[in-house]
């Protein structure tokens, strides 16, 4: 049920549906190692690997020291030999409990914020590339026209180096997701909420028109969860 840490930190264009905590940003200079620049408290959800339990769909469970890696968006654990590995076969997981937190997996890990028997609110936290600067004349750096000019930053065995010509700005990103009673999660927006709870479409339309729900505000989404449970 384990695999060695191997992931791609893919770049993507910022979406209107997402909420970015842009006050949290870090600069990775040309040739620097991302893992050395970013402190553990930046890369991980918890300051240290914490006792948790992985609950599987076949009703089995496994205890381990766990932590969520925001850089690779993987749930990682400490193996018996002391290696840091990533949980594999995520589709077999029902949920993961770490302290008071609960994580679900649906094409990526999300952390439960609020929920009831009908609807759940969760967030997906990660580190994203907000800007790419290319070295130009007189050793000056300027932003490229599109972050897609850099395809990816490969992460393997915790070693990640940039080219000598690129400077990256790393941002902490928080995205809200809505889940149903079956723990199926979609990005929080009007279209997806109607998709998940189509039987309540008319009531939802009325509620969202009356309350002007912001899908970037946690309190608005919590109130919507309460409405869905009525």
Model pLDDT for residues 82-119, shown as the tens digit of each residue: 999 999 999 999 999 999 999 999 989 999 999 888 89
Query: In the predicted model, what is the mean pLDDT of residues 208-230?
Result: 91
Q: What is the mean pLDDT of residues 186-203?
A: 93
Residue 225 is predicted with a pLDDT of: 93
Six-digit token string for 61: 């469970």
Predicted confidence band of residue 176 (pLDDT cuts 50, 70, 90): very high
Give yes or no for residue 178 having a pLDDT over 50.
Answer: yes
Q: What tokens does 108 get? A: 């990526």
Structure tokens at 70: 């925001």
What are the phi and psi torsion angles at 59 (to 5°)? 80, 5
Report the mean per-residue pLDDT for the chain. Answer: 79
What's residue 150's pLDDT?
A: 34
pTM exceeds 0.85: no
Q: What per-residue confidence (pLDDT) applies to 24? A: 81
Q: How far apart are CA 13 and CA 169, in angstroms?
A: 14
Handedness of CA 206, 207, 211, 214 (dihedral sign): negative
Q: Is residue 20 predicted with pLDDT exceeding 60?
A: no
Res 157: pLDDT: 37
């Amino acid at each position: 049920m384990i695999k060695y840490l191997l992931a791609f930190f893919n770049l993507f264009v910022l979406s209107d549906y997402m909420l970015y905590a842009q006050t949290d940003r870090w600069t990775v200079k040309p040739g620097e190692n991302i893992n050395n620049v970013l402190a553990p408290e930046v890369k991980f959800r918890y300051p240290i690997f914490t006792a948790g339990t992985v609950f599987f769909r076949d009703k089995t469970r496994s205890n381990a020291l766990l932590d969520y890696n925001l850089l690779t968006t993987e749930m990682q654990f400490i193996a018996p030999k002391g290696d840091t590995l990533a949980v594999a076969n995520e589709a077999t997981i029902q949920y993961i409990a770490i302290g008071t937190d609960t994580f679900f997996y649906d094409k990526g890990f999300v952390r439960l914020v609020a929920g009831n028997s009908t609807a759940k609110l969760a967030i997906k936290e990660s580190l994203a590339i907000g800007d790419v600067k290319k070295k130009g004349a007189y050793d000056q750096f300027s932003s490229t026209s599109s972050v897609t000019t850099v395809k990816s930053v490969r992460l393997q065995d915790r070693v990640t180096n940039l080219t000598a010509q690129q400077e990256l700005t790393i941002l902490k990103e928080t995205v809200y997701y809505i889940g149903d009673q079956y723990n199926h999660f979609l990005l929080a927006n009007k279209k997806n909420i109607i998709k998940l709870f189509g039987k309540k479409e008319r009531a939802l339309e009325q509620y969202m028109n009356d309350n002007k729900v912001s899908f970037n505000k946690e309190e608005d989404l919590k109130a919507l969860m309460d409405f869905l449970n009525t």
